[in-house]
């Protein structure tokens, strides 16, 4: 069931999104060679708690951390660890959320570790821009397919592949709500977008093929061909005046 938020509920969500965005910014600023993914997770965790919120990912379906931190060919759901040490040339995707006053904010971004290759930079740039291509289609009266189609076309036209097993989603009182928001689709098809809908749009884009595999830890998702993957995400509200990015600082 899709829940349309009132103006009061959107105001409460804005606070959760502000904290989530701040935590992502703080985590991203800590990304540098020699830092462990556990250290980055602690920074995000502490930021969220200090703001009076709780980490939305911690213990969600058993996930053991405040942030999913995924390196290079890891698409999503990487588990932070003291043994995972970032090195120059890596790209690292950080996905996290915050809950406060009964509502959730959810966002993600991929960060460069030191100097990265031109190939890695282009993948990150295209993935981030595809997010905004999707957001531009998140308008009242449109359809979910408009969003995914825009993302897929932008990335595939530039030689990249769209992960299809994982999608964006509704977000609000729960981290994952209806509707599903795929990063592919057909324009004019799918759920109609209405004012008050709040969705997480999150392209997960691979430099090689679209194939993925899940590691034995049950969480970490990697590209099947070992090529790089990037991930960007915003929580977005559908309004009568156009899309409102709630996780933008």
Alpha-carbon distance of 112 to 91, in angstroms, equals: 5
**Confidence (pLDDT) at 54:** 98
Contact 197, 2 (CB under 8 A): yes
Tally: H helices and E strands in the chain: 4, 15
Edge-to-edge strands, sheet with 229-231: 161-162, 204-206, 229-231
Over its length of 249 residues, how does the chain's per-residue pLDDT go in tens digits?
A: 999 999 999 999 999 999 999 999 999 999 999 999 999 999 999 999 999 999 999 999 999 999 999 999 999 999 999 999 999 999 999 999 999 999 999 999 999 999 999 999 999 999 999 999 999 999 999 999 999 999 999 999 999 999 999 999 999 999 999 999 999 999 999 999 999 999 999 999 999 999 999 999 999 999 999 999 999 999 999 999 999 999 998
Triad 194, 11, 236: Cα angle to 5°: 45
Q: Could you say which architecture CATH assigns to the domain 7-244?
A: Alpha-Beta Complex (3.90)
Triad 242, 129, 118: Cα angle to 5°: 170
pLDDT digits (tens, 9 = 90+) for 35-48: 999 999 999 999 99
Alpha-carbon distance of 98 to 200, in angstroms, equals: 13
Domain definitions of the chain by residue range: 7-244
pLDDT digits (tens, 9 = 90+) for 4-25: 999 999 999 999 999 999 999 9
């Amino acid at each position: 069931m899709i829940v349309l938020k009132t103006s009061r509920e959107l105001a409460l969500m804005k606070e959760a999104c502000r904290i989530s965005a701040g935590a992502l910014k703080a985590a991203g600023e800590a990304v540098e060679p020699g830092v462990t993914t556990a250290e980055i997770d602690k920074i995000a965790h502490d930021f969220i708690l200090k703001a009076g919120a709780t980490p939305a990912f911690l213990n969600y379906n058993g996930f053991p951390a405040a942030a999913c931190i995924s390196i290079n060919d890891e698409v999503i759901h990487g588990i932070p660890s003291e043994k995972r040490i970032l090195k120059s040339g890596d790209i690292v995707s950080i996905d996290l959320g915050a809950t406060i006053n009964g509502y959730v904010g959810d966002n993600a971004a991929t960060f460069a570790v030191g100097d990265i290759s031109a190939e890695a930079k282009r993948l990150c740039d295209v993935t981030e821009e595809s997010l905004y291509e999707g957001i531009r289609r998140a308008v009242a009266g449109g359809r979910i397919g408009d969003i995914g189609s825009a993302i897929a076309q932008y990335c595939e036209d530039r030689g990249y592949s769209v992960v299809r097993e994982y999608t964006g989603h509704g977000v609000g009182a729960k981290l994952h709500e209806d509707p599903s928001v795929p990063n592919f689709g057909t324009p004019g098809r799918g759920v109609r977008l209405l004012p008050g809908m709040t969705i997480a749009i999150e392209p997960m884009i691979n430099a090689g093929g679209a194939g993925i595999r899940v590691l034995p830890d049950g969480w970490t998702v990697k590209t099947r061909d070992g090529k790089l993957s990037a991930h960007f995400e915003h929580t977005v509200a559908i309004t009568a005046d156009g899309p409102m990015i709630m996780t933008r600082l």
